[in-house]
Amino acid sequence: MTPHTRPRKGTTRGFTLIEIAVVLVLVSLLASTVAMSAGGMLNGATLGETVAQIDSLDSEARRTAKRLGHTIELYIDSETRRLTLHDPREPNAPPLGGITLPRTFELTQAWHLVRGEQQIETDLVIQYEPDGTATTWGVSISDPNTQEGLSSLAFLGMTGQMTQRENHEQARDILAEALGRHTD
């Protein structure tokens, strides 16, 4: 029988190089998994969340125009995917509010009705009057990287009622019906 050996006083047993390497590999795998998951959440919202943000911005523009008692403008820039509220009386002031569509979304079309005729633009300015009304306008957004596809939003100028459809023609037809007009 061999006597039980004790470590010498003042010495401690540390981790081996293999143990440290295994822990580092596990931590790096965990960190990369978390980073990819969080990156997906930060890069984009769902189509429903994006639609809700645009609807909220329209409501905010109407409230702001009423509160300030003068015209407020909504700039729609399809290249930067930004929708921003501006006070035309203060052109050098920062925006009053706005949103940027998530990187995965495209702003494929912006349009408004002028004297009953639909005009499609790449960049658009919507004016909200002091009574909270605006021209009837809409945008089409899509997320080509998902199954969500295309969604067209239309905002009725007098009430701000939003209509969401899967394609631009459906949204246009509903608006035309609401306005009492016929479209081909």
Residue 41 has pLDDT above 50, yes or no: no
Distance CA 125, CA 71 (A): 12
Domain boundaries, the chain: 47-179
Residue 59 has pLDDT above 70, yes or no: yes
Q: Tokens 């790449």: give the residue.
A: 122
* pLDDT for the residue 60: 92
Distance CA 130, CA 67 (A): 8
Q: Tokens 């701000």: give the residue.
A: 160
Per-residue pLDDT tens for 127-149?
899 998 888 888 888 776 655 55
Which residues, other chains included, contact 160 with Cβ-Cβ below 8 Å and sequence gap of 6+? Answer: 58, 59, 62, 132, 134
Residue range 47-179, CATH number: 3.55.40.10
Provide the residue count of the chain: 184
